[in-house]
Amino acid sequence: MIVVTRLNGSAFAVNPDLVERIHETPDTTLIMVDGAKYIVRESMADVIDLIAAYRARIVGMAYGTDLPNTRNATGPQPTLTAVAPSARRTGDADVDIATIIGILLAFGALFGMVEMEHVELAGLFLPAPMLLVFGATIGCGIASTTLKDAIASFKAVPKAFTGKVTPPQSVIDDVVGLAETARSNGLLALEQEADKHDDPFMKKALQNIADGTDGDELRILLEDEIESNAAPTRSASAFFMGLGGFAPTVGIIGTVVSLTHVLANLGKPDELGPLIASAFVATLWGLLTANFMWLPIGGKLRKLAQLESDRQTLLMEGLLAVQAGSQPRLLGERLKAMVPPAARTDTSKSKAGKNKQDADADDQQLAA
C-alpha cells in the first residue's frame, strides 16, 4: 500500500496494483480499476515515485534484501499558491411581482363590477360573515397541521409577494467561472471562491469539493440538501392551498346559519330581502378569499419552491462536473441544455460580451 493525502489534509492508503491511470489537470486524480476516483495533494510524479518505491520494497523483500524507505510515505507536500480573489459573485436574483399584480388586478376587476352594478360596498363588508370566514378558515387550517408549521407558513407570506427568482443564465455563468478557476488553479482554489458567494448551498458544495469529498457521496449530500431546502416552502404552499379548500365550505356554512335566521323571520316580509342578501355575503367572502388570496399565495410559494429546486439542481450538476474536470465551454453548453430555451438567453449585453471573452480564453487554452 502507498499512503497519499486528500485535499483536506487527511492521509489514506491505496493499493497501487488497483490504480488504472493517473490524471493531473492540475489536481492529481487517481482512477482505480473499479472506476473510483481519488483527488490527492501529491503531484503525478510523486505518486509514481511512491508506486516505484513500493514495488522496489516488494522485490527487495522477495530476495531478502529489503530496501530502506528512501522517502516519506506521504510524499512531499506541494506548496499551494494563494489565488487572488476574483470579482465573481453569486448571480443577482430578480424580485418577481406577479402575485402583487395578479391580486390587485383581481380585486380591481371585482370593484369595477361593483361600481358598474351600483352595489353598495357597505353591504359587502359585514363583520359577522367576514369574522366567520377568516376565523374559521384559519382555524381549520391550523387544525390540519402542526402549530409550528402553521406559524412558519404565515411567516412565508412575504416571500410570495417579494420572492426572488435567479435567472438560469446567471447560475451557468457562475459555474463556468468556477470551472475556469478550478482548471487554472486546481480544486483547492474553490475553497477561497466559496468565501465570496453568499449562497449557503454553493458554499457547502464548494467546501466539500475543496475537501476532496467523493463525487457520488457529494451528489447524495447535495440532493438531500435540495430536498431539505424546499420542504419548508412546500409545506407553506400546502397550508395555503388547504385554506383555499376550507374557505368556500366555511362560507356556505355561514350562509346556512344566516338562512336559518331568515326562516325565523318569515313573518316580517319587509326584512326578508336584506336578510337574504346578507346571508350570501358569507359565501361571497368564502369564494373571494379562496380564489383571490389563499390559492394564489399557495400556488406562488409552490412555484418558488420549484424554481429554487431547479436552480440548486442546475448548480449541483455544474459543480459536480467542475469536480470531474469538465472543460468550461462544454460545461456551459451542457448546462444550457438543461434549461428551457427561453431561459437560455443572456440576461444582459454586458454578460454576452463577457461570455465571448470567456470563450476566446478557452480557445487559447485549448490551442496551448
Whole-number Å distance between alpha carbons of 22 and 343: 39
Same domain membership, residue 354 and residue 252: yes
Alpha helices in the chain (DSSP H): 44-62, 98-116, 127-143, 147-155, 157-162, 168-185, 190-194, 200-210, 215-263, 269-289, 295-323, 328-336, 349-367
Same domain membership, residue 41 and residue 113: no
Q: Is 47 exposed, middle or buried (0-12, 13-18, 19+ CB in 10 A)?
A: buried
Alpha helices in 198-214 (DSSP H): 200-210
Can you give the pLDDT at residue 203?
Answer: 92
Within-domain flag for 74: no
Can you give the pLDDT at residue 294?
Answer: 97
Can you give the pLDDT at residue 6?
Answer: 85
Whole-number Å distance between alpha carbons of 167 and 110: 34
Nearest CA-CA partner of 6 in 250, 278, 300, 214: 214
Cβ neighbours of residue 75 under 8 Å, at least 6 residues apart?
Answer: 3, 4, 5, 42, 46, 47, 49, 50
With both helix axes pointing from N to C terminus, report the angle between 269-289 and 215-263 in degrees, rounded to the nearest 10: 180
Same domain membership, residue 125 and residue 16: no
Q: At CA 54, angle to CA 51 and CA 57, rounded to 5? A: 150
pLDDT digits 0-9 by tens, 262-318: 887 777 777 777 778 788 999 999 999 999 999 999 999 999 999 999 999 999 999
Can you give the pLDDT at residue 73?
Answer: 44
Q: At CA 109, angle to CA 102 and CA 283, rounded to 5? A: 95
Longest Cα separation, the chain: 120
Same domain membership, residue 345 and residue 217: yes
Query: Domain ends where: 18, 46, 62?
Result: 62
As for how many domains the chain has, the answer is 2
What residue type is assigned to position 19 of the chain? V
CB 202 within 8 Å of CB 193: no
The whole-angstrom distance between residue 94's C-alpha and the CA centroid of its chain comes to 15
Same domain membership, residue 316 and residue 237: yes
Within-domain flag for 44: yes
Same domain membership, residue 102 and residue 28: no
Same domain membership, residue 104 and residue 50: no
Within-domain flag for 78: no
Query: Which 8-state DSSP code applies to residue 337?
Result: T
Can you give the pLDDT at residue 176?
Answer: 94
Same domain membership, residue 181 and residue 120: yes
Same domain membership, residue 334 and residue 191: yes
Q: Which residues of the chain have pLDDT under 70?
A: 59-93, 344-368
Assign 156 to helix, strand or coil.
coil
Can you give the pLDDT at residue 250?
Answer: 96
Within-domain flag for 312: yes
Within-domain flag for 245: yes
Residue 215 has, within 13 A of its CA and on its CB side, a CA count of 17
Range(s) of the domain holding residue 299: 94-367
Same domain membership, residue 51 and residue 109: no
Same domain membership, residue 130 and residue 12: no
Whole-number Å distance between alpha carbons of 58 and 66: 8
Q: At CA 97, angle to CA 289 and CA 145, rounded to 5? A: 45
Give the chain's radius of gyration (CA, Å): 32
pLDDT digits 0-9 by tens, 167-209: 999 999 999 999 999 988 888 888 888 888 889 999 999 999 9
pTM to 2 decimal places? 0.70
Whole-number Å distance between alpha carbons of 131 and 282: 9
Whole-number Å distance between alpha carbons of 253 and 139: 14
Same domain membership, residue 296 and residue 225: yes
Can you give the pLDDT at residue 116?
Answer: 93
Can you give the pLDDT at residue 189?
Answer: 86
Within-domain flag for 331: yes
Within-domain flag for 69: no
Within-domain flag for 79: no
